[in-house]
Amino acid sequence: MVSALPDRILVTPVRAEDAAELAEMLNAIIVRGGSTAYEEPFTADQLAAAMLTGPNVLRCVVARDEQSGSLLGFQTLCRSDALPDGVVDIATFTRPGLTRRGVGSALFAMIRRFATNRGLRAINATIRADNISGLAFYSKLGFVDHHIQHGVPLKTGQLVDRVCKRFTPLSTTALGNLSDS
């Protein structure tokens, strides 16, 4: 399924050829610091395996500027051995400096439909406690606090709490006849 927004943003499933541009985007976020738990840069192949198309990836979608074709952000759902069956991890990244509102929400609309249609029980977002905008973003989407991982060390030795928020997808009957696989 392809979803277009009024301000010319397309949300589509990720393509293998998106990996290099998405790695560049994520690496810029990592270098900037403070908003992701990731501290080491990714190659395109590493990112593809971990978050885009690898065996633990259930779904990854990208937001693309319809006119320029440039990638504005991506969101991924991945299995994790640390979570119970039917609960998956989500990660959301948007291009640093992006001022266009609604990219993350547009990505989540497609991810939410996918999760609901797959019968997933919940979506888990783990956010650094010092990432105020990330916490607000997931709260706005309907995620609620589930638990806190206290004092997770960064490579600098700094301890940062991580807040785990959960979203319980709506039933397919509540969403109507949305079909997105």
Kindly report, residue by residue over 18-52, the tens digit of the pLDDT: 999 999 999 999 998 877 889 899 999 999 999 99
**Burial of 164: CB neighbours in 10 Å, binned 0-12, 13-18, 19+:** middle
Kindly report, residue by residue over 116-166, the tens digit of the pLDDT: 999 999 999 999 999 999 999 999 999 999 999 999 998 889 999 999 999
Kindly report, residue by residue over 74-125, the tens digit of the pLDDT: 999 999 999 999 999 999 999 988 766 889 999 999 999 999 999 999 999 9
Handedness of CA 40, 45, 46, 52 (dihedral sign): positive
* Domain residue spans of the chain: 3-175
The fold of 3-175 is: Aminopeptidase (3.40.630)
